[in-house]
């Protein structure tokens, strides 16, 4: 009985921990591939990097929540591999923005290695990428055509562990109940068999009486 009481008391704690874990921030991954990069002005040379492929991981409460902090970046444009210290984030109305901090997150200056990635926060629509490179100060390169743009959440190991713990608890409770029901069923079956095979004491008594009493 004590084990059952401890288990029942343990379930709310597991559920509460899962709820707290689900409410806190989690890693969000942005995978993108910007194609058809255009030169601005159009009379300039072709874009030095086309397509542009990158991965950005940040911390937020959900995929549609504001960014809390950046975790990592994997992005190389025109041979320049961006580091986490070169990148920042901002919110501009309905848009989420991640870009270089050299001139401000949403300000690019030609002739420098800089970029800006933007998308609609609520539904990940209308992504856009603009970048500049070290060289001609009058050139910028942009794309609003993406063959891939995904924003996905990656649960933390602790959250996964709590979910598995809760699932294990439910499985053990269900298994214990099945065992008890099975044992009860066997007991009922044995009792029924014994009742069917045992002689009727009244019948035996009547048959054994002397004939004069019958």
What is the pLDDT at residue 137? 79
Listed residue (163, 157, 160) closest to 14, CA to CA: 163
* Contact in structure between 148 and 33 (CB atoms under 8 Å): yes
Task: Round to the nearest angstrom and report the end-to-end CA distance of the chain.
Answer: 56
Task: Enter the pTM of the model.
Answer: 0.65
What is the pLDDT at residue 181? 61
What is the pLDDT at residue 194? 61
* Contact in structure between 97 and 106 (CB atoms under 8 Å): yes
What is the pLDDT at residue 208? 46
> Could you read off the pLDDT tens digit of each residue along the chain, which spans 214 residues?
444 444 445 455 544 544 444 456 899 999 999 999 999 999 899 999 999 999 999 999 999 999 999 999 999 999 999 999 999 999 989 999 999 999 999 899 999 999 999 999 999 999 999 999 998 778 999 999 999 999 999 876 655 555 566 666 566 666 666 665 666 667 667 766 666 665 555 444 445 445 444 4
What is the pLDDT at residue 138? 84
Listed residue (54, 192, 26, 178) closest to 117, CA to CA: 54
């Amino acid at each position: 009985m004590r084990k059952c009481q401890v288990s029942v008391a343990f379930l709310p704690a597991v559920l509460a921990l899962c709820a707290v874990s689900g409410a806190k921030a989690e890693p969000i991954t942005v995978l993108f591939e910007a194609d058809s990069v255009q030169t601005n002005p159009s009379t300039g040379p072709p874009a030095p990097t086309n397509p542009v492929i990158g991965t950005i991981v940040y911390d937020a409460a959900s995929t549609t929540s504001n960014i809390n902090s950046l975790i990592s970046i994997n992005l190389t444009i025109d041979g320049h591999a961006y580091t986490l210290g070169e990148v920042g984030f901002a919110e501009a109305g309905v848009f989420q923005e991640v870009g270089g901090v050299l001139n401000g997150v949403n300000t690019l200056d030609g002739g420098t290695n800089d970029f800006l990635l933007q998308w609609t926060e609520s539904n990940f629509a209308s992504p856009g990428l603009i970048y500049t490179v070290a060289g001609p100060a009058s050139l910028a390169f942009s794309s609003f055509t993406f063959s891939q743009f995904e924003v996905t959440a990656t649960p933390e190991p602790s959250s996964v562990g709590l979910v598995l713990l809760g699932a294990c608890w439910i499985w053990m409770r269900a298994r214990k109940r099945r065992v008890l029901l099975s044992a009860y069923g066997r007991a009922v079956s044995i009792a029924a068999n014994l009742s069917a095979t045992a002689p009727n004491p009244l019948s035996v008594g009547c048959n054994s009486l002397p004939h004069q009493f019958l």
